[in-house]
Amino acid sequence: MFIALEGIDGSGKSTQLNILKEYLEKNGRRTYLTREPSDLSIGRTIRRYLTGELKADNRVIAALFVADRLEHILDEKEGLLRKQKEGFDIISDRYYFSSYAYQSVDMPMDWIINANSVAAELLKPDIVIFIDIPPEAAMERIKAGREGTELFETKERLTETRNKYFEAFEKLKDRENVIIIDGIGTPGEVNERITNILSKLL
Ligand code: TYD
């Protein structure tokens, strides 16, 4: 099973990711936790753009995300196809819907979707879980949790990104299995909402 976890920054994804891994392992499944940008070479470079250490036009970064995703899928040692062959369930913190939402602010969404079509053919998530919280709440969590804010972390940007996620879900509703989870509440409450859905798939 391949689960992609999505949400705007501050949605609580990272917390859920770990609880989710424990849940799957308790159910006897070997689970591989991963993220995008990946920890491979292009992904590491992308992180340097996100923190502002490196600078480039956002359209350049959009293309890097496409390349990173392919590397994440295809890398011979660490790639997701390899992990699947080895029998792991995969949970990814972000996948192509992040590009559809974040990069379509600077590029036409159809370009992003087309540029990711090879990734979508190679490896489509069995389920995309979108943890939904209002941008105001996300901004508060971001401010409380960290010192600096990254490239895409302003309230306007979060609002725009959330809207783009919903636009992408609507556009691809016949092709993708997306579940929207209410992200307001304690980590335990949100987790219960997620595992209620997963228990039907296991
Ligand atoms: P990171 O701090 O790793 O994620 P999170 O805040 O979810 O813990 O930052 C990832 C950033 O990269 C986040 O702002 C979203 C952005 N991003 C894109 O713009 N496009 C993409 O395709 C992906 C995977 C991430």
Question: Residue 136 pLDDT > 80, yes or no?
Answer: yes
Asked if omega into 187 is within 30° of 0 (cis), the reply is no
Question: Residue 149 pLDDT > 70, yes or no?
Answer: no
Q: Which of 98, 106, 133 to mutate for ligand 1's pocket (most ligand atoms within 8 Å of CB)?
A: 98
Q: Residue 5 pairs with which residues in a beta bridge?
A: 93, 129
Q: What tokens appear for 117 in the block?
A: 């079509």
Nearest Cα to Cα of residue 123 among 77, 161, 74, 168:
74
**Residues 54-76 pLDDT 10s:** 999 999 999 999 999 999 999 99
Q: How much distance in Å is there from the Cα of 59 to the middle of ligand 1? A: 15
Q: How much distance in Å is there from the Cα of 44 to the middle of ligand 1? A: 12
- Give 100-120 as a DSSP string: HHHGGGTS-HHHHHHHTHHHH
Question: Which amino acid appears at position 60 of this protein?
Answer: V
Pocket of ligand 1 (CB under 6 A): 9, 13-14, 36-37, 50, 65, 94, 98-99, 102-103, 150, 152
Check: CB of residue 13 under 8 Å from CB of residue 93.
Answer: yes
Q: Which atom of ligand 1 is nearest to the CA of 102?
A: 19
pLDDT band of 146, cuts 50, 70, 90: low
Question: Residue 160 pLDDT > 90, yes or no?
Answer: yes
**Residues 81-111 pLDDT 10s:** 999 999 999 999 999 999 999 999 889 999 9
User: pTM of the prediction?
Assistant: 0.94
Distance between CA atoms of residues 32 and 77, nearest Å: 13
Q: How much distance in Å is there from the Cα of 6 to the middle of ligand 1? A: 10
The three-state secondary structure class of 29 is: coil
Q: Which residues contact 117 (CB under 8 A, 6 or more apart)?
A: none
Q: What tokens appear for 68 in the block?
A: 């990173």
Nearest Cα to Cα of residue 45 among 34, 57, 54, 36:
54
Sheet with 127-132, strands from edge to edge, namely: 31-35, 89-93, 2-6, 127-132, 178-182
